[in-house]
Amino acid sequence: MLEVKNLTKKFEDRLVLNDLSITVPDDEILAIVGPSGAGKTTLLRCITGLETPNQGEFFWNGKQFDPKNNDLIGVVFQDYQLFPNLTVMQNITLAPTMVKKEPLKEVKKRAEQMLTQLGLQGKEDIYPFQLSGGQKQRVAIVRAMAMNPKILCYDEPTSALDPALRDEVAKIILGLKQSEGMTQLVVTHDMDFAKNIADQIERVKALS
C-alpha cells in the first residue's frame, strides 16, 4: 500500500499542491485526473523524487521512504525518454546491470520475456529512433519493470498515441496489474481512459 500524506508543493509563491493525501492499496491502479496546470504531473514528480516537495511524507506498507532514494518506484515518462544512443536491449539492461550489479545474462533473459509479452520480439538490437511511438512506450515500460519496482508511475501515457493505441496501453496496464500485481499510478487528462483502467480516481483541481 502506497500512502502520500500532507503533500504541499509551491513554485516560488504559487501553490500547486496543498496538503494532498492519497492512498493506493496493493495491486490497485490510481488514476490522477484534472485539467492541465492542476498539478497532476507535479504530484507524480514529487512521488518519483524529481521534485522536492515543501512538505509531505511517503509510506510504502507503513514504512516511510524517500522518493529520491528507494527502489520501489519505476517511471514511464510522457515522452518516454529512452536513451537514443543505446539499443532497445541496452536501454533495458543498463540500470539493472550497473546499479544493481545483476548479471547481464539474467537481466537479458527477463527482458526478452517481457519484450515478447508486449509484442516487441525481434526489436532487441535496434535503436529507439527506429521504433514507433507505441513501441517506444512499451520499451519504456519494460525498462522501468526491469528494475523490479513495486509501484509503476505513468505520466500522460495516452497523450502521444492515437485512439487505437490507447486501448493497447490500457490492456498493458491492466495486464501488469494481473500478472505482476503491480501498484500503478497513472496521470492522465483523458477521463474515459481513466475510467477504463482505474480502481480509484483522484481528481486534482487547479489551486490558483
Partner 1 sequence: MLNYISGIMPALLSGTRMTLSIFFWTLICSIPLGALVGLGLITKFKPLAWILNLYVWLMRGTPLLLQLIFVFYGLPLLKPYAIIFPRYQAALFAFILNYTAYFGEIFRGGFQSVPRGQFESAKVLHLSYPQTIRKIVIPQVVKIVLPSIGNEVINLVKDSSLVYVIGLGDLLRAGNVASARDVTLLPLVLVGIIYLMLTAVCTIALRMIEKRSSVWR
What are the residues binding partner 1 (CB under 8 A)? 48-50, 71, 73-75, 77, 79, 81-86, 94-95, 98-99, 127-129, 143-144, 147
Nearer to partner 1, 33 or 73 (CB): 73
Work out how close the CB of 205 gets to partner 1 at its nearest, in angstroms, rounded to a whole number. Answer: 26
HEC-encoded secondary structure of the chain:
CEEEEEEEEEECCEEEEEEEEEEECCCCEEEEECCCCCCHHHHHHHHCCCCCCCEEEEEECCEECECCECCCEEEECCCCCCCCCCCHHHHHHHHHHHCCCCCHHHHHHHHHHHHHHCCCCCCCCCCHHHCCHHHHHHHHHHHHHCCCCCEEEEECCCCCCCHHHHHHHHHHHHHHHHHHCCEEEEECCCHHHHHHHCCEEEECCCCC
Nearer to partner 1, 62 or 84 (CB): 84
Work out how close the CB of 98 gets to partner 1 at its nearest, in angstroms, rounded to a whole number. Answer: 6
Work out how close the CB of 164 gets to partner 1 at its nearest, in angstroms, rounded to a whole number. Answer: 26
Nearer to partner 1, 73 or 182 (CB): 73
Work out how close the CB of 94 gets to partner 1 at its nearest, in angstroms, rounded to a whole number. Answer: 6
Nearer to partner 1, 19 or 125 (CB): 125
